Structure 1
Amino acid sequence: MSDGARSHDTGLAATRSLTARLVTGLSGLMIVGGLILALAAFAYGRTAARDAFDRLLVGAANDIAASISIRDGAPVVDLPVSAFELLALAPDDRIAYQVSGPKGAVLTGYKDLPRPNTTAQDSELYDARFKGEPARYIRVTRRFAERQFSGTVEVIVGQTLRARTQLALSITRNALGGLAVGGIAMLAFAIIIVHSALRPLERLAHGISERDPQDLTPIRAAVPREVDVLVQATNGFMGRLDRQFATMKSLISDTAHQLRTPVAALRAQSDLAAEEDDPARRDQIVAKMHSGTVRLSRLLDQMLSRALVIHRADSARRERVDLRNIALDIFEEGDHAALAPGSDIRLEIAEAEVPVLADELSLSEAAKNLLGNALAHGEAPVTIGAELRDGRARLWVRDAGPGPSPELRARLGERFAPGRTDTRRRGASSGLGLAIAQSVAETYGGTLEMESDAAGFTIAITLPRAEEAP
């Protein structure tokens, strides 16, 4: 099946690849960065070009100022060729100059050149226009103090900005060219790196696709730390699926194995009752049928309860639960009266809260099964309670009997373990009750503990307190 078909079957549209996202993101970043760099490069180029050509203006103006001499009491200008050679380095630009004597009399050059706003300095650069075109000017003042002439002569030299603009644009183009080459190389390397980084994902997807549908064992693959999070999440999901499948298989297996014999016995007894003519004998058979039906109902309840508890272990949200409330609810419900009519049930709960983080329904089912096991196999009185001991929360059931032998105690908690043969109901089966309690305890980070003392045999679900629970 193709990738497109798989996407269509799952009802999910494939999004853009990581490579496409990376290329798009880097392209946008380079475009924005290129615009910023272009503005910065143009500003730098314009400054550099202005400084370079300002030096030409300064040199030309100083050469002209140096060529001024005094003859017959008047300033005379002998324009040097070197000044115009400097300005000719910008062949596309237009040049303007003016030499003026005292009182602003123009000695040579253009008569209508713009002047700076201030004349406080002997040398000053300023911007103005020349015949409608932007230009750059410099004003240089030369002072004379001779017998024949005393005063100042001003030299103004101007140049349009074409060469400056071309130089600034050239610097900008060179900077953007380097950026373009570097950006393309960066994109190429990014694509190669992304493909290399995604190879573990491709190997992981290939390994999962080739797995047997029944193989829910954890994935073992050497992947980068970032991908390991995905692997762990997938392993956790498959672990939950595996537990759910195991629960269903166990329920089916237990149903087929445990129900076949009692159902066959009930059918045989019903056949005997239908053929029996003696009323007294028929009543005995009916009583056996009723007893077998009660045991069968109890077994079915435990099997379904175990399946429910295992299912909720992965699906139910953990909440703060006070174990005292569970013990009190079980005591007040009075379901034990149906299991053991006339039984002596007592309640002992602590004054302080006994908090845990768990599923209330699962804990309640486990406690009911502990109470049912004590009523079926223990000795009166039977006590249910909740307390804190050594910093841990305990939900316990105690009966007055000595408890099972060490050999049987080691097997308690297994499914369909044999009953407590040293009590008043020899040969009875403890069924799934203790297995349910042990599963609940282990699910929420606790244990199923058993102890015997002068007060009797106690079995308890011990869990971390809510503040300590993970």
Structure 2
Amino acid sequence: MKPPLSDPEMAAAATGIVPSIAGRLTLMLTLVLTIAATGTIIAAYAYGRTAATRAFDRLLTGAALQISERISVVEGETVVDIPLSAFGLLSLASEDRIFYRVLDPVGATLTGDEAFPLPDEVRAGDAQMLYDAEFSGEPVRAILMRRFLAERSVRGPVTVIVAQTLRARGELAREIVARAVIGVVIAGFLTLVLAVLALRLALSPLDKIERAILARDPKDLTPLSTDTPREVAALVAAINRFMARLDRRVGAMQNFVADAAHQMRTPITALRAQTELAMEEEDPRRLRVLQRRIRDRAMGVSRLTDQLLSHALITHRADSATLERIDLRRVAMEAEREARRTGGASRIDLDLPSDPVFVTGDAFSLREAARNLINNAVAHGVPPIMLRVSADLEAGTASVTVHDHGPGMDADRIARIGQRFVRTATDPRSAGLGLAIVAEVAQFHQGSITTGSDSGGRFTISILLPLDADQSDGSDADDQPREETVVVFPTQPSQQGTGN
């Protein structure tokens, strides 16, 4: 049962728009590139902010160092000579404002903005530290640097604070990000274009397969011979397997129609002619002869119809039936019961082992094959007839064998086992499909047909099948020797062939 379609698939089916592999891969690749570009831009923004902060922090450090170097003690007082060069580099950021403040060892402001805030926590041993603050309504970045004075009149650290607003830093970070974005967009677009071109080239074998299929005649079911990459070979193999199954189905249907049209016409015509003769015949003795002929013809038509339908069903099940673990003893019993009911056999002996004989197969097909073996022996052999099931554990095979006391088949008929409509000329009831059905069932189950005679001189015909892998060790082995065995491998169902 097919799974229900999703909403996008239903919408696509309703509009007739079916997404292609190339479209899906392009969409996925675009999504991946978008995620990668977004991550790159975020990383570039973080890097830009870090780079701008480091660059301007170095300028702040340089300015604070120049100021601290110009601090001296003159006549017992701390003197600060602010050099112009200290703010020369900082002034390159024309939109930014610069602040400074110098404090003596006791914390009094010697020069600068008295209101500029100090950091929340200053450790006694720190010679310098960078911190963020807010002053005059703007965020600022500041550096606090200490210089220790050891004069007679002045002893202790002199604190120098230099600060700058963040406008230039933000502008530098945005410039770095903008350049990174441009590079990422260009690289991503080129990557996407090249990837799509590579994708089209990689998917070209699918176009080749499509053209090869569209160029074919609708009746051409031969395998595709297009050279394809390894990844597409499985698809081509699946298409070839499907076409092979379809070819078998079409061939089986055509054979059935042709066989039914050809094989049914003659016996029905003969039956009608003999019926007309019987209607005009007045001699009771000749009338009884005609009645027997009509009965034989009717039985022949009935058997032919039954076997035509059985053959068609067996051919169909060869492609569609689910194989199961089956006990051949049950198959033999059901086939014997069916043969008694429909085949006119008065006595059929069963020789079954005490332990199960398991094979993997289709119970219906195997039952039909066994029933046809019995019917063939009833029609052409000499009773008593025995149906035997056995297993050979060493060879890994199981067999369904029919014995009768007749002379058996000659070499020519043995060679033609598997061909359809090879009838016995002396028996108008013969449909000529019995052994053809047996051969097809054996082929379907990867088995074979053997003929010969056993130690008692009885003619035997068997279906050999592979034993199931889990066959019980207690199964009986085939311990009756045969004088001679001829193995006949089944022919293809589409060829002309036999049975009785």
Change in Cα spacing, 1:194 to 1:151, as seen in structure 2 (3 Å) is closer
Instruction: Name the CA distance, whole Å, in 2 between partners of 1:182 and 1:403.
Output: 84
Find the counterpart in structure 2 of residue 294 from structure 1. 299
Instruction: Name the CA distance, whole Å, in 1 between partners of 2:463 and 2:17.
Output: 48
Q: Name which of 131, 136, 150 aligns with 1:126.
A: 131
Find the counterpart in structure 2 of residue 350 from structure 1. 353
Q: Name which of 61, 65, 74 aligns with 1:62.
A: 65
Structure 1 counterpart of 2:461, one-letter code: I
Structure 2 counterpart of 1:79, one-letter code: I
Structure 1 counterpart of 2:464, one-letter code: T
Find the counterpart in structure 2 of residue 457 from structure 1. 459
Find the counterpart in structure 1 of residue 339 from structure 2. 335
What are the Cα deviations for residues 228-287 of structure 1, in whole angstroms up to 9, with x where unaligned? 222222222222221122112212222233223222221221121111111121111101
Q: Secondary structure in 1 aligned to 2:371?
A: helix
Instruction: Name the CA distance, whole Å, in 1 between partners of 2:212 and 2:166.
Output: 68
Structure 2 residue 256 is the aligned partner of structure 1 residue 251: yes
Deviant stretches of 4+, over 3 Å: 10-14, 425-430, 465-469
Q: Secondary structure in 2 aligned to 1:165?
A: helix
Structure 2 residue 275 is the aligned partner of structure 1 residue 275: no
Structure 2 residue 41 is the aligned partner of structure 1 residue 35: no
Matches within 5 A, 1:297-308: 297-308=302-313
Change in Cα spacing, 1:466 to 1:51, as seen in structure 2 (3 Å) is farther
Matches within 5 A, 1:67-146: 67-116=70-119, 117-120=121-124, 121-146=126-151
Indicate the larger mover: 71-80 or 396-405.
396-405
Q: Any stretches of 5+ residues in structure 1 without a counterpart? A: 1-9
Instruction: Name the CA distance, whole Å, in 2 between partners of 1:118 and 1:149.
Output: 21
Q: Any stretches of 5+ residues in structure 2 without a counterpart? A: 1-12, 472-500
Q: Name which of 168, 171, 175 aligns with 1:170.
A: 175
Find the counterpart in structure 2 of residue 407 from structure 1. 412
Instruction: Name the CA distance, whole Å, in 2 between partners of 1:350 and 1:110.
Output: 114
Find the counterpart in structure 1 of residue 443 from structure 2. 442
Question: 1:402: Cα distance to partner?
Answer: 4.2
Change in Cα spacing, 1:446 to 1:172, as seen in structure 2 (3 Å) is farther
Question: 1:98: Cα distance to partner?
Answer: 0.5
Indicate the larger mover: 218-227 or 393-402.
393-402
Instruction: Name the CA distance, whole Å, in 1 between partners of 2:380 and 2:263.
Output: 20
Structure 2 residue 246 is the aligned partner of structure 1 residue 219: no
Change in Cα spacing, 1:203 to 1:289, as seen in structure 2 (3 Å) is same
TM value normalised by structure 2: 0.85
Structure 2 counterpart of 1:78, one-letter code: D
Find the counterpart in structure 2 of residue 317 from structure 1. 322
Instruction: Name the CA distance, whole Å, in 2 between partners of 1:141 and 1:213.
Output: 94
State the aligned residue count: 454
Please report the RMSD computed on the Cα atoms of aligned residues, expressed in angstroms.
2.3
Q: Secondary structure in 1 aligned to 2:437?
A: helix
Find the counterpart in structure 1 of residue 289 from structure 2. 284
Task: Indicate conservation of the 8 Å contact 1:449/1:461, yes or no.
Answer: yes
Question: 1:337: Cα distance to partner?
Answer: 4.8
Instruction: Name the CA distance, whole Å, in 2 between partners of 1:196 and 1:34.
Output: 25
TM value normalised by structure 1: 0.90
Change in Cα spacing, 1:134 to 1:356, as seen in structure 2 (3 Å) is farther
Q: Would you tell me which structure has more helix in proportion to its own residues?
A: 1
Q: Secondary structure in 1 aligned to 2:87?
A: helix
